[in-house]
């Protein structure tokens, strides 16, 4: 079983530890992607997969995750680790897990937090 959030309530912002910020980023993104009424997610699904990654938003998300990994002290390839982490929160993955496999949003969020903690700990961050 994946542990629940260590940070209930408001998400940490600038100045908070990078690992906490990265956990909050993914939790929020998962919630938005899984919400049927979210217009941003609905519009994002209309963009072709390869164009999503090259979009300003896709590049900004990747840069944000890569930067937080660097700030957290991860010594690995921040660029590739960011791609790996973001692969978990694509529309395709979230739709398959949440809608196809009926995985509840809290479990998806807890798994994201677990991935972040393991990635940061694996490199001694």
117, 7 in Cβ contact below 8 A? no
Domain count within the chain:
1
Domain-embedded: residue 36: no
CB atoms within 10 A of CB 96: 12
Domain-embedded: residue 96: yes
**Residue 75 domain boundaries:** 18-28+48-122
**Interval 62-91 mean pLDDT:** 93
- CB burial readout 31-69, b (16+ within 10 A) else e: eebbeeeeeebeebeeeeeeebbeeeebeebbeebbebb
**Interval 56-80 mean pLDDT:** 92
Domain-embedded: residue 54: yes
Is residue 55 over pLDDT 90?
A: no
Domain-embedded: residue 3: no
Is residue 54 over pLDDT 80?
A: no
In terms of pTM, does the model score above 0.85?
A: no
Domain-embedded: residue 85: yes
């Amino acid at each position: 079983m994946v542990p629940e959030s260590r940070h209930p309530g408001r998400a940490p912002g600038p100045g908070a530890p990078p690992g906490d910020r990265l956990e909050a980023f993914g939790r929020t993104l998962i919630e938005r992607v899984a919400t049927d009424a979210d217009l941003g997610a609905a519009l994002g699904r209309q963009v072709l997969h390869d164009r999503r990654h090259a979009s300003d938003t896709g590049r900004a998300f990747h840069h944000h995750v890569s930067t937080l990994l660097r700030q957290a002290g991860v010594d690995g390839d921040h660029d590739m680790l960011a791609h790996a982490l973001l692969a978990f929160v694509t529309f395709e993955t979230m739709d398959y897990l949440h809608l196809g496999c009926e995985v509840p949003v809290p479990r998806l969020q807890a798994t994201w937090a677990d991935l972040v903690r393991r990635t940061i700990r694996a490199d001694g961050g």
